[in-house]
Structure formats: C-alpha cells, structure tokens
Structure 1
Amino acid sequence: MKVWLGLLLAATCMMARAAEANDPMLPPSDLVLRAISGTPEVRRAEAGVATADAQARMRASGSYEGQVTVIPQRRRVEGDRNYNEWELDVTRPIRLPGKAKLDREIGATGLQAAQLSLEDAHHAAARRLLAAWSDWQRARLERGQLQQLVDIARRDRDAVARRVTLGDAAERERLATESALAQAQAALLRAQSLQTQAELNWRSVFPSLPLPERDAEQAYAPPALQGDDESWVKLIVARSHEVGASEALARQKDAEARRARADRVPDPTVGIRMLNDLGGRERAYGVVLGIPLGGSYRQAEAAKAGADALAAEADLAVVRRDIEQGARTVVASARASHGIWQSQRDALQAASASAAKAARAYALGEAGIAELLAARRTEQEAMLAERQAAVDALEAVTRVQVDAHAIWHRHDGDNDEAPSSGLPALPDLGG
C-alpha cells in the first residue's frame, strides 16, 4: 500500500508540474509560490518554526544552570577584635538519567509540529489563492456575458426603432426593447461592481501576483477528475500536513507526560562550599547536596500532563476524521461539478437552438419581439450558467490537486519519478 501510494503521489506531482509548464494561461508556479509565501499567515508560521527551534535548543541544554552564592559577614567576639568572614557556595542542579533524552524528544517533536504547521499554512494559502482566483473568474465571466447582452439589447433597440420609424413595428415593441436594454445595463453595472470587488480582494491578499489581461475565450471544456475517488481520498489524507502536525503534537504531549512522571523523582543539586572564618584562622571545605522533597504538586502536575496527552490523542482523531471527510467532500464535488457543467452545456445548446429559431420567426413576422427577447435572454443566461459551471468544475478539480499537494506546494515531490498519471491541471481562462 505504501509503495502504491508513493507511486501515485509521484505521478500526480509530475503531471501537475508538466501541466503547469505547458499551459501558458496558468499563473506561473514561481509567482504563485512567491505570492503564497508572502502572506502574513505563512510568515507567522515561519516565526513559529524559529520559536520552536529555540525552544528545542533550550530543552536540549536545560535550565540547569550553576549558581554562585557569596555570603560576606562580620563577626564580633566579646573581649576580642572583629573578624571579616565569608562563605562561598557553588551549586548546580543535575538532570537525572533519562530526563535529558525526554527533553530532547519534546523539543524535536515540537519543532516537527511547527514545521508541519508552516506547510499547512502554505497549503491553506494555496486554497485561498485558488478560491480568490475562481471568484474573480466568475465575476469577470458574468461581466463579459452581460456586456454582450447589453450590446445585443442595444442593437435590438436600434433596429426596432428604425422599424417603428418606417411603420413596420408597433411602438410597444420599441418600449419592450428599451426595457430590456435598461434591465441589461442595470445587471451589467452590478456585475462590474462584483468584478471590482473580486479584483480588490485579490490584490489585497496576493498583491505580487497580477491578474491576466487577456480577453475571455468563447468556449472551453473543464477537465474531469482522473483516477479513482478512494485513491484521491487516501492520497489527500496521507499528505495532510495538518494530520502530521497533530501527530507530532500528540507525540510531544506524550513525551511531556512521561517527563512529568519522571519529575516525581526530583533532580538533586550538588556543589561545593568554602568557609573563611575568624579572618582566615578557620577554613572549611565541603560538598553540598540538595534534594527537593516531592509531594502532591508533582503528582498533580504529572496527572495534568497525562490528561493533556489524552486530549492531544483525541484532537488527532478529530483532525483525521475531519480531513478524511473533507477529502471525500472535495473529490465528490469535483465529480459533481463536472456533471453539472455537462448538463449546463446541454442546456446552452438547446437555448441557442431556440434563440436561433425565434430570430428566424421574428424576421419572417411569425413571432413578436417579446418572444425574441425572451429567447435571447434565456440563451444568454444559459451561456453564463455554462461558463460559470465550467469555472466551478475547474476550481473543484484543482482543489483536489491542491489538497493532494500535487501543485502549488514548494516542498512536495521535488525528486519524484513515476509514470504519467494523466491528472489535469487548472488552466487560466483569460481575462
């Protein structure tokens, strides 16, 4: 199973990189990664790695620092002179065998959890980038489609106005075209506002990655999700950095619980002691040994650490459950979105045929302007629905690839080698 999963992963990464390289409409991978790395969430996670690294070094060295205690004093002896005296103690706590190993384990697992959290922050930013890009695409498509509808409505208005002037059409037909044009213009203004909002949202989150400036293409077909659904789910779960970070955190909490249990046997303090009394006439040297007397506090601390470890295990189970559920959801969404697009494509073909018949009937005087306007409005609505459904399908397929870490991940699959898997990448639709 592990070998099979590794081969599938390698093939997925290779094909995703190849698709990115061959599709000039897709944002360049290096710019995407740079934009993702520049987000504040990723930068904060990088700071978290630096913090965890410092904490790991702190635990490895330990807080067992030496202490020097100097006690100067002056002795007065009745009937004798005064004497300057001093006492010097040099002590240091000593970690008992096994505790240093546990401290290193705690620091290492904490660092691993922070590193995986950084990768998870990178993954979350990739998903935000995909969502923002798709929102802008949908807004741009709606604006472009409504612009076409306004142009058509304006031509219809002008044509009917000429026919009214020539006496070939009634005034009510001109009023109908005026109303249709006004409605289309109002819808266009709304779409332009939505596109502006989408652009502002994009530039506020990913300012270093410019939006494409190309005109929208007239038609395109989104790729279907290749491969087996269960394989995709297993791949997404296996590659989840969130699961990995939770596993590392659970191991850290377990090590902390074992460390707390070990601390029920206190660490001793050893050192040397030097005395200088009666102005140097008396001198003493000794060894200092201090042993804390553990009690109920250490027992409670060990119990708390054990409870924290159990809670971390439960959190890990929740994360695994949610990641698997989310993986099944995005894979199912990719399948459903492609099916929805196919249905919308069939609806568009039917609406286009109906609009063409209505135009011929109107030209022959067999239908009125109301029938023609209704047929054209239905065709334009069907065209917009089809194109937006295509964006939805593209986004859903790419979301699966992003969650499987096949694209837009800086550390995944750098040295993978495997046969081609035929997995699609998300093309840019133009702008």
Structure 2
Amino acid sequence: MMIRLLLTTLIMVAGSAYALQPPSVPGLLPTEIARPLLEQDPRVAAARAGLEVAKQESSILDKSPYEWTGKALGQRRSLDTGPRYREWNVGIERTIRLPGKGSADRNIGKATIEESEARYGEALHESARELVSLWVDWLAAERGRELAAANLVAVQENLKSVDKRLRAGDASKLDLNLASAELAEQKRMDNDAKTQAAAAWARLSVRFPGINRQSVLLPSPMLIAEDEARWRDRIIAESDELKVVQTQLRIAQAQADRAQADRVPDPTFGVYTASEVGGRERISGVTISIPLPGGLRDSRSSKALAAVEVARNAVDLKKRELETEIASALVTARGTYESLQIANEGALAMQENAKLVQRAYALGEGDLQTLLLARRQTTSAANSALLAQVGALKAYYGLLIDAHLIWGLDSE
C-alpha cells in the first residue's frame, strides 16, 4: 500500500514538473536576445526606477518621522521697586513614535516594495507580450511576402501558357487580356506584401531598437495537451497583476493597523534648564505632553478598515477575472490550433488542385476562367492558413508568457 502511494505521488510530482518545464519552441526568439530587449524597454525601465523609489520609501517609513526640536526663550524681568533681571530658558524635546506604530510603518514599507516588484514583473510581462506580437506580425508579413512572390511567379507562368496557346490558335485575345490583368493585380498584391513586411519590421525595430533582422521561418504552435488545472494554477501563481492587488491589500491592512495604533497619540518628551532672577535661581526639569484624542482619530481608523474591505474585494475580482481570461485563453489556443490544421489541409488541397488545372490548361484541356479561379482559391487558402497560423501562434505564445515559461520571466 505504501509503495503504491509513493508511486502515485511520484507520478503526480513528475506530471506537475513536466507541465512547468519551459517548452522547446523552434523559431522562438532566444532568451539572450529577448531579455536585453525587454530590460531596456522604457516601460520596464520605469518600473525598475519605481522599485528604487519604493525602497527609498520603505527606508523613510523605517525611520521615525519626528525630530528633535530646540527651544530658547529670553526675557527681562522688571520689578516696580527694584532692579531689572535678565532671564532665559532653553530646552529640547522630541515626539516618540510608539512601538506599534513603528511596526505598522515597517509593514507598509515592506508591502510597498513587494508591490513595486510585482509592477516590475508586470511591466516585463506586458513588454514580452508586445514583443511577441510585433515579432510574429513581422514573421507573418515576411511569409506573406514570400507567398505573394510565389503567386506572382505562378501567374506569370499562367500568362506564358495563355500566350503559347494564343500563338497556337487555341486561345483568344480576350484570354490574353484577362491573364495580363490578373498579372497586374498580382503585382499590386506583391507590392502590398512587400510594403506590409517593411512596415511590420519598422514597427518592431522602432519599438524594440537593437533587435537584429534575421531570416527566421514563422514557427508552428504546439498543441496544449496538459490539464487545464495545471495551466490555471501556474498562471495564477505567476500573475504579477494579481500580486499587485494582493500587495495593495497588505498595504491597506498595514495602514489600518497604523490608523488603529494612531488612536493613541504619540507623547512628546523634553528637558529644559532656565535661569531666573539674574542667575540667582537655576531651574531644570523635564516635560511631557500628550494630545487629547478626539473623534477624528476614530474616523480615520474606520476609514482605513473600510479601505481594507475594498482591497479584499479587488483581490477577489482580479482573481475571478484572471481565471476567466485563462479559461478563454486555453479554449482559444486549442481552437486556433485545430483551425490551423484544417486550414493547412485546405491550403494543400487547393495547391494540388491548382497544379492539376495548370497542367490541364497547358495541355489544352481546360479553360482560362477555371485556371484563374483555381489560382485565386489557392492564394486565398494560403492566406487563410497564414492568418490561422498567426492566431494560433499568438495564442500559444500568450499562454507561455502568462505562465512565465520563456525568457526567464519566472525569475522575476
């Protein structure tokens, strides 16, 4: 029984570990290239600077907000029937922060740092999603340019076939004009594809300067085969967006503790010495003053407690929103992957059909309209497959980024 239980535990642990392993995705930007691009992104740099601000804020909260205050008083005493005397009074005093308030302030500072760390991780996450999107768009545009160039060659071959049949007396001048018009349209589409590829690269290279232009094939996504619960648990555990609201809850709780402790005012202690009657009398002593608390302190404490409840509901809402997004993302990733397979099958079938029609037309066994229609259907099917691949790839990469499985995002 114990052996069976041990084996079951090992299998569960191995399965969980497998689900958390960063997958090997051919064509994905290497970490050594992507990570510097993310670190130098202004969004990430601003979050990193914000983290330094939070550390300074924590250091400030760790120290007492009160300082020593020096006092000096000079006066002259005049008697109606006697001489005049010079008198003075000097002292120092300081308000003392009670221990409970110091502990609450330190908790606020610690939670503030944790919030900034979460915001830094979220900035990396958002920049990574943007980098992936722009990078996939560029690769897709380059693939679209290649398809347009291949279609242009095919249409040029069609025109040669029409011209050959025209010289043989087996085609009309109208067929030649139609083939020429088709070639002109394909040239326009080829130029549009080149423009889109150049624009996609401009968006990528300007948004993330320093990226090198390399010839990379558009990768193919992988099937999401793991249990949805593993993806959900992983993404929720790694979600910096959720961590932000969770740390905000801890800050609100610490501020409520501070407001509760502040219902008891901080006392002020001091020491002084005085000289009176021209130095004939020397006085020294200590002072203590404590503000008399009123209803304002109770109101501030009640307000802080209400803010805790607001923050707690914000955490619950964010977690529910996150679970909704994860469920939708998993369904989308699987659905787009299946659509890609169907689109690829359709594109291959249309490509084979175009070859058969092209061969039949060259042998004089088909008409031009059928040939042009087959070519257009092939182009449309190829473009549809490309769009399906882009959608599936973005959905797949989006899950990898949300789960922090690539580019070292799990270390943040």
What's the TM-score, normalizing by structure 1?
0.87
Q: 187, 190, 196: which is aligned to 1:188?
A: 190
Partner of 2:110: 108
Aligned mates of 2:366, 2:67 — CA distance in 1: 96
Partner of 1:426: none
Task: After superposing the two structures, state which structure 1 stretch, 158-167 or 374-383, moved more.
Answer: 158-167
Within a 5 Å distance, the mapping from 1:248-263 to structure 2 comes to 248-263=247-262
Task: After superposing the two structures, state which structure 1 stretch, 390-399 or 340-349, moved more.
Answer: 390-399
The 1:230/1:224 distance shift into structure 2, 3 A limit, reads same
Residue 244 (structure 2) pairs with residue 237 (structure 1): no
Partner of 2:62: 60
Partner of 2:227: 228
Aligned mates of 1:318, 1:268 — CA distance in 2: 42
Identity of aligned residues (%): 29
- Report the Cα offset of residue 156 of structure 1: 2.2
The 1:283/1:212 distance shift into structure 2, 3 A limit, reads same
Determine if contact 2:220/2:393 at 8 Å carries over to the other structure.
no
- Report the Cα offset of residue 12 of structure 1: 4.3
- In the alignment, structure 2 segments of 5+ residues that lack a partner are 1-8
Determine if contact 1:222/1:391 at 8 Å carries over to the other structure.
no
Aligned mates of 1:34, 1:366 — CA distance in 2: 59
- Report the Cα offset of residue 351 of structure 1: 1.0
SS of residue paired to 1:98: helix
Aligned mates of 2:213, 2:41 — CA distance in 1: 17
The 1:44/1:5 distance shift into structure 2, 3 A limit, reads farther
Given residue 120 of structure 1, which amino acid in structure 2 is its aligned partner? Answer: E
- Report the Cα offset of residue 259 of structure 1: 1.1
Q: 202, 209, 212: which is aligned to 1:210?
A: 212
Partner of 1:289: 288
Partner of 1:429: none
- Report the Cα offset of residue 42 of structure 1: 0.9
Task: After superposing the two structures, state which structure 1 stretch, 2-11 or 132-141, moved more.
Answer: 2-11
Q: Identify which of structures 1 and 2 has the higher relative contact order when contacts are C-alpha pairs closer than 8 Å and 6+ apart.
A: 1
Partner of 1:373: 372
The 1:5/1:312 distance shift into structure 2, 3 A limit, reads farther
Partner of 2:18: 11
Partner of 1:130: 132
Q: Give the count of matched residue pairs.
A: 404
Aligned mates of 2:277, 2:16 — CA distance in 1: 80
Q: Deviations over 1:231-288 (max 9, x none)?
A: 2122111221221221111011011012102111111111112212233222211211
The 1:9/1:43 distance shift into structure 2, 3 A limit, reads farther
Q: 141, 144, 159: which is aligned to 1:142?
A: 144
What's the TM-score, normalizing by structure 2?
0.91
Determine if contact 2:115/2:243 at 8 Å carries over to the other structure.
yes
Aligned mates of 1:159, 1:237 — CA distance in 2: 60
The 1:58/1:10 distance shift into structure 2, 3 A limit, reads farther
SS of residue paired to 1:223: coil
Determine if contact 2:22/2:406 at 8 Å carries over to the other structure.
no
- In the alignment, structure 1 segments of 5+ residues that lack a partner are 414-431
Q: Deviations over 1:206-229 (max 9, x none)?
A: 112223235x58xx7532123112
Given residue 119 of structure 2, which amino acid in structure 1 is its aligned partner? Answer: S
- Report the Cα offset of residue 82 of structure 1: 4.5
The 1:208/1:412 distance shift into structure 2, 3 A limit, reads same
Given residue 225 of structure 1, which amino acid in structure 2 is its aligned partner? Answer: I
Q: Deviations over 1:139-188 (max 9, x none)?
A: 22222211221222223224423443453321111111111112212222
